Amino acid sequence: MALRTQVEAVFSDSGLLSEAMTSFAPRPGQVEMAKAVANAIEEVKILAVEAGTGVGKTYAYLVPALLSGERVMVSTATKALQDQLFVRDIPRLLKALGLSLRVALLKGRSSYLCMQGLSTARQAAENLDVVALRQLARVEDWALSTRSGDIAEVNDLDDASPVLGLVTSTRENCLGSQCPHANHCHTQWARQDAMKADVVVVNHHLFFADLNIRESGVAELLPSVRTVIFDEAHHLNDIGVQFLARQFSTGQLKSLGRDVLMVGQSLARGFSDWLGLQAQLEGAARVLEEAVKPLGTSARLGWKDAAPKGLWSNDWQTGVNDCVAALQNAHNILLQMDERGPEFTALAQRAENGSKAILYFAQDIALGCARWVELGVHLRLSESPLNIAEAMRSVLQPDPDVKSQKSWIFTSATLGVDDQLSWFVNSCGLEGAQVLKVESPFDYMKQASVYVPPDFPKPSEAGHTQAVAQLIFEGASRLNGRTLVLTTTKKAMHHLGSLLRALFADGGMAMDVLVQGEAAKRALIDRFCKDPKQGECGCILVATASFWEGIDIAGDALQLLVIDKLPFAPPDDPLMQSRAHAMQVLGKNAFKDLHLPTASIALKQGAGRLIRSEIDRGILVVCDVRLLKMGYGRKLMAALPAMQRLPDPEAWHLALNALQPSLPITST
């Protein structure tokens, strides 16, 4: 029986999914997508599918993939979706379809416990503080019983914990076959499981890491796979560019210094001044960071000449020379210790690689690339291709004379702003791919409305953030919270959080204002979704970055979504500037063909947080008058779902009244 016919039967009213899942109901868009995926698998095609919110794209690609009988690799942008597919979606579908397939989860090596790292950390425990010692003890207890070695199983180990770097490995510090624990390596076990599996769930980071350095395990897996599916595919270009880039970070110097001290004191105490060597490495890192610090943190600085933009070339060169000297000195000392264990050989190699990496940035920038520095927790030097098109073409069609023997499926809720999905297709080198757009089944005209305040300060004007806070205060007061605020910058997020807390305090009104970063993401969402009982205050969540997508808050918990301004990329971002210049060379309009589509995709992602089910209702507010007054505003509005337009404050107040809950907000 043809795969398409099987798929149609499974999704029918009397099909296997309806029989196995009481909550399942066929959706025309889901069936359309599933049949397109089935065709692509059978005909060995490349397919890009934009599936609107509520289509059910996960089942739409999994059902034909699982029924195909071929080996399948599914890649996601986030570990959260990766875990969801492995733990929930795939097992549920296999049971419903009556299939018995081997499924494996493969993450990067930093996600797995390294027994050698754990042993070394234990020997150097004297260098850890009390909190880190407790966390290390927790990992040691867990290590006795874990089978997978997935460090995510240690629930109380914070992502920022210094212990994570001690008990996991990197490509640089892995001892390979020389490791005393080579026969008890969780990373290798995970890769072996993946090679035996019928379905393997990976992530985009792994996929591109393997294209670049061929060490993640995907290189061995990919040739044997017949169907490759990328979910959350709109992230592919950004993630791919990141992993195909050449990079050097002062974090590498500091990490090397810590490991040199730990290994040196554990295995060769007294043979060298390990503390002094660590101090030299960390001191060199600080000199380079200090050269950039006067220009501020977090911003990317373009780099076309001898030094990054805005820096004195002498100060920069001094920092570079110090780093090279520290790394070369460490390399020479560590090489003399190689007989005392493979750990020293690995450390020497890391020092040599670091020296080569920073010296690369003393050369002219490569053609077709962008180069920049970025100062956050560490200083990072990067040079990347402008997009992943060339790299993807080499993977999709490695030999132009031989027809590909793989089916490639790319899907997301947002892939473009036109019917050809050109924003995504062109950046990923998918010219000639089949394209499908499946609309959301939600009735946005009845379920949602959109309001752009007509008499509002421009985002560039001083009073804009205060006006946004006042609007949120007005709406959230009526709804007893139930408000998510998405900002385009961390600065705006923190400013809005402070203003809202002051407004509610001054008004004598109780409201829980949550700000991203003040608690774990999961904890913030759990608190936000908690339904306030009689007399309890509601909740506002102010967030940026990762909250623009990937969070699913269905029901009445979210009824007001406020976006502070249009999410255009910073005009001085070096990568965007280089992409814009490349487009201009080709005779294209950088604003129309780059900046506008990028902002549109981000806006669609953010707006997609509002309506998550057929019963949701809510208001989207975009506090940016450019949507009304600039010509491109119509294009951005057209990219959003067709919601009811609220033309003025009166309509805005009426829409709030229609949503207003029966529970009154309480006073303090």
Residues of the chain above pLDDT 90, percent:
67
Greatest Cα pair distance, the chain, in angstroms, is 79
- The alpha carbons of the chain give a radius of gyration, in whole angstroms, of 27
Model confidence at 291, pLDDT cuts 50, 70, 90, reads confident
pLDDT tops 70 at residue 422:
yes
The pLDDT value given to residue 216: 52
| Residue labelled with tokens 């892995």 | 174
Question: Which of these ranges, 310-314, 424-428, 538-542, has the smallest mean pLDDT?
Answer: 310-314
The pLDDT value given to residue 663: 42
The pLDDT value given to residue 94: 97
The pLDDT value given to residue 79: 82
Question: Which of these ranges, 131-140, 150-159, 534-543, 652-661, has the smallest mean pLDDT?
Answer: 150-159
Question: Which of these ranges, 70-74, 85-89, 99-103, 578-582, has the smallest mean pLDDT?
Answer: 578-582
The residue-averaged pLDDT of 255-280 equals: 92
Nearest one of 147, 3, 24, 9 to 92, comparing CA atoms: 24
Q: Which residues contact 557 (CB under 8 A, 6 or more apart)?
A: 482, 528, 529, 530, 531
The residue-averaged pLDDT of 643-651 equals: 97
pLDDT tops 70 at residue 373:
yes
- Contact between 99 and 6 (Cβ < 8 Å): no
Model confidence at 640, pLDDT cuts 50, 70, 90, reads very high
DSSP 447-474: HEEEE--SS---TTSTTHHHHHHHHHHH
Higher pLDDT, 376 or 195: 195
The pLDDT value given to residue 662: 45
Q: Which residues contact 397 (CB under 8 A, 6 or more apart)?
A: 404
The pLDDT value given to residue 537: 86
Q: How confident is the model over 108-147, as pLDDT tens digits?
A: 888 899 999 898 888 777 777 888 888 899 999 999 999 9
Q: How confident is the model over 314-351, as pLDDT tens digits?
A: 889 999 999 999 999 999 999 999 888 888 999 999 99
Q: How confident is the model over 218-245, as pLDDT tens digits?
A: 667 888 899 999 999 999 999 999 888 8
The pLDDT value given to residue 115: 93
pLDDT tops 60 at residue 400:
no
Whole-number Å distance between alpha carbons of 140 and 651: 60
Mean model confidence pLDDT for the chain: 90
Q: How confident is the model over 477-529, as pLDDT tens digits?
A: 999 999 999 999 999 999 999 999 999 999 888 999 999 989 888 889 999 99
DSSP 511-575: EEEEETTSS-HHHHHHHHHSPP-TT--EEEEEE-GGGGSS----GGG--EEEE-S--PPPTT-HH
The pLDDT value given to residue 404: 56
Nearest one of 248, 255, 352 to 303, comparing CA atoms: 248
HSE value, Cβ hemisphere, 13 Å, CA-based, for 322: 21
Residues of the chain above pLDDT 70, percent:
95
Q: How confident is the model over 199-223, as pLDDT tens digits?
A: 999 999 888 877 755 555 666 788 8
- Contact between 148 and 186 (Cβ < 8 Å): yes
Model confidence at 152, pLDDT cuts 50, 70, 90, reads confident
pLDDT tops 70 at residue 666:
no
- Contact between 424 and 234 (Cβ < 8 Å): yes
Q: How confident is the model over 553-600, as pLDDT tens digits?
A: 988 999 999 999 999 998 788 899 999 988 898 899 999 999 999 999
The pLDDT value given to residue 655: 96
